[in-house]
Amino acid sequence: MSETFQTVGVIGGGAWGTALAQVCARAGMGVTLWAREAEVAESIRQDQENRLFLPGVALDASIAATTELADLATRDLILAVAPAQHMRATLAEFAPAAPSGLPVVLCAKGVEQGTLKLMNEVLAETLPTARAAVLSGPSFAAEVARGLPTAVTLAAEDLELAQDIAAALATPAFRPYAAADMIGAEAGGAVKNVLAIATGVVEGRGLGSSAHAALITRGFAELTRLAVALGGRAETVAGLCGLGDLVLTCSSSQSRNNSVGLALGRGESLQTALAGKLSVAEGVASAPAVVALARSLDVETPICDAVDAILAGRLDVDAAITGLLARPLKTET
């Protein structure tokens, strides 16, 4: 049975959560955004702007902001936009107030360290009665918040649920495509962040456009292998939530992950590359988890392995590049 969502709660007051709150307001939904930082909630309430994470973007005046997760309990729909490594703790904090059967759209991209679980598995353990969906695709928060054209994947095991949520979020400039492959959508988003660090390194090292294109292509092969091994479908990651997101994130310094790789390629330390960044570069935290997950499934991911080794200080950039170029030649597929 088709559902109509009138109200939405957004968990996460960072740039992406704020941008999605703006999307929902434009779609005519009643929006309550939860931020952990009191100054973010106050800035939105007083000035219709998230001065900390999304400065310079005028927000819809209808967006309500709160620092109390319980205030979201009466919403028809939840968008969970906490960073991947904080998703479990945030959902567990919300759990006592969450009603049974609440639809929750996971909007973070990553693999949880330690457990090596995707966000839908984290949701199942923290809010076991929730109805899960995933939103992923090529999207920069500032562009989405300003109303520039964007297309994403909205996936759920229940395709009708995905279609209903997509219809609720859609605006003339924000176009969600429904899908039934939640695992594929999640895997694409998690792995592309790691690969974006690699393309940043290539650019920072001045290795040229040919190397950049080759790395995206071979990285996409890694992403696809892992998604399929997890139970996702290759055709899913060939769409917006995989290839589309990979191309965007690997091709612009607006990407937090790409900018970290760019700094590393220029010889900066990881500490320096991350200094002063308020928003999270998910690929830094996800890299060791993605590599460990791939190894547990016997999936070969040499580019992700190299990124993980650079971030952990086991290899310097030049040694990692030399290692990749020295790999045995093989058939492409």
- Asked if the domains at 7-180 and 183-325 fall in one CATH topology, the answer is no
Arch. (CATH architecture) of 7-180 = 3-Layer(aba) Sandwich (3.40)
Quote the CA–CA distance of 20 and 43 in Å, as a whole number. 17
| Residue-range domain boundaries for the chain | 7-180, 183-325
Name, in order, each residue with C-beta under 8 angstroms of 262's C-beta and a sequence gap of 6 or more: 200, 201, 203, 204, 253
* pLDDT at residue 157 in the model: 96
Residue 117 bears catalytic tag: no
Is the pLDDT at 277 greater than 80? The verdict is no
DSSP 5-68: --EEEEE--SHHHHHHHHHHHHTT-EEEEE-SSHHHHHHHHHHSSBTTTBTT-PPPTT-EEES-
Mean pLDDT of the chain: 95
Considering the candidates 117, 192, 277, 330, report the single residue annotated as catalytic. 192
Q: What is the pLDDT of residues 104-163, one digit of tens each?
A: 999 999 999 999 999 999 999 999 999 999 999 999 999 999 999 999 999 999 999 999
Quote the CA–CA distance of 189 and 61 in Å, as a whole number. 31
Two tokens, residue 85: 């490594």
Q: What is the pTM of this model?
A: 0.95
* pLDDT at residue 253 in the model: 83
* pLDDT at residue 330 in the model: 86
Quote the CA–CA distance of 97 and 71 in Å, as a whole number. 9
The structure tokens 């923290």 sit at 126
Which contiguous run of DSSP H or E holds residue 324?
helix 317-325
Domain 183-325 annotated CATH 1.10.1040.10: yes
Is the pLDDT at 2 greater than 70? The verdict is no
Is the pLDDT at 1 greater than 60? The verdict is no
